[in-house]
Amino acid sequence: MAILVLSNPLPSAPFAAALRQASGGIPVWTEQDSPPPEAVEAILAWRMRPGILPQYPNLRVLCSTGAGAEKLLVDDLPEHVPVTRVVDPMQGVEIAQYVVATTLQFTRDLKLYAEQQARAEWKRHPVRTAVRCRVGVMGLGAVGQAIARAFLPLGYPVGGWSRTPREVPGVATFAGMDELPEFLSQADILVCALPLTDETRGLLNHHTLAQLPRGAFFVNIGRGEQVVEPDLRALLDGGYLAGAALDVFEREPPPPDNWVWSHPQVVATPHIAAQASFDTVAQQCVDALRRARDGLPQPLAVDRQRGY
């Protein structure tokens, strides 16, 4: 019985190597090994196509390589197979670092100064003070809260929005669709840290993004599918939004001719805001398999109904 790595489009070798270290002798295969399907007990994957899972009659658990597992929730996922996600204690911190870095690059005009440096130009611009730059974090799970907390000591007023009410010390919180317009109207920096669900797919569109204050900056570390990319582009091109930092995209990687690569107001990065270590991913997958074998509950299982 074995663990199969189907991590495409991520390379399988580092996951397989870490799993071999962690598995205590459980065989670990990749797609290239063409393993006998009946021997596969656990699959480690980032996304799944319909038609694959029914080929593995003895599958006990399906593990995501990432913190989100929505791309594994295919229609033919067997009812008895739990889907687990990675929970890495460093992830919130790393994502918060990314959001703070890209936000400060914008609020402190660092791109402008880099351009000036290239021209040997000594020119000072007024500082946009933190208290006049309100940060709004959409999604107040562990990651969203880590982001919100990171901005507080820097002097930025922070708001947060979530599906159901949450209390976060120091953060002005809003909940539900009724309070979304008020939240958006106070976000000079909008950060999307939402999970992808039926409710959040396409939630950031022309209608919602146009409720941000003029000149707002948008950071997406949630999921690309939450943003209607042509709407975002139109608001950037029209000068309503000042810029965006995008780490996630509807299609990953975006094709070479996609506008995000070359748009002057966009910082585009290849889904690197946080990367769980291969060792953590492997250890959590092996633990999930052991629990499945022993019939124990899965603390890292996603709620299929909610989608996260």
Choose between 66 and 136: whose C-beta lies nearer to ligand OXD. Answer: 66
Residue closer to ligand OXD, measured from CB, 67 or 209: 67
Residue from 23, 41, 66, 226 binding ligand OXD (CB under 6 A): 66
When the beta carbons of 66 and 144 are compared against ligand OXD, the nearer one is: 66
- DSSP per residue over 39-57, as a string? GEEEEEES---TTSGGG-T
Secondary structure class of 1 (helix, strand, coil): coil
Q: Which stretch binds ligand OXD (CB under 6 A): 60-68, 114-122, 133-141, 154-162?
A: 60-68
Distance in angstroms (rounded) separating the CA atoms of residues 155 and 11:
41
Q: Is 288 in contact with 298 (CB distance < 8 Å)?
A: yes
Least Å from the CB of residue 167 to ligand OXD: 25
Cross-strand pairs, 174: 161
Contact status: 144 vs ligand OXD (CB under 6 A):
no
Shortest Cβ distance from residue 183 to ligand OXD (Å)? Answer: 23
Q: Which ranges of the chain would DSSP assign to H, the alpha helix?
A: 12-22, 89-107, 110-118, 142-151, 180-185, 206-209, 229-237, 259-262, 278-294
Asked if residue 68 binds ligand OXD (CB under 6 A), the reply is yes
What is the nearest approach in angstroms of ligand OXD to the Cβ of residue 15?
13
Which residues are catalytic, by number? 223, 271
In this structure, what DSSP letter does residue 100 have? H
Question: CB 67 → ligand OXD: shortest distance, Å?
Answer: 4
- In DSSP terms, 83 is beta-bridged to 62
What the block records as the tokens of 147 is 């982001």
Figure out which of the listed residues 43, 67, 100, 228 binds ligand OXD, where binding follows CB under 6 A: 67
Q: Which is nearer to ligand OXD, 216 or 300 (CB)?
A: 300
Q: How far is the CB of 271 from ligand OXD (least distance, A)?
A: 6
Helix (H) or strand (E) holding 216: strand 216-220
- Give the binding range for ligand OXD (CB under 6 A) out of 14-22, 64-72, 106-114, 135-143: 64-72
302 is a contact residue toward ligand OXD (CB under 6 A): no
| Residue nearest ligand OXD (C-beta atom) | 66
- Is 92 among the residues that bind ligand OXD (CB under 6 A)? no
d(CA 70, CA 43): 15
Which residues on neighbouring strands pair with residue 268, listed in sequence order? 246
List Cα–Cα distances, 249 to 6, 228, 253, 271, 298, in angstroms: 21, 10, 7, 8, 30
Q: By the criterion CB under 6 A, which residues form the site for ligand OXD?
A: 66-68, 271, 276
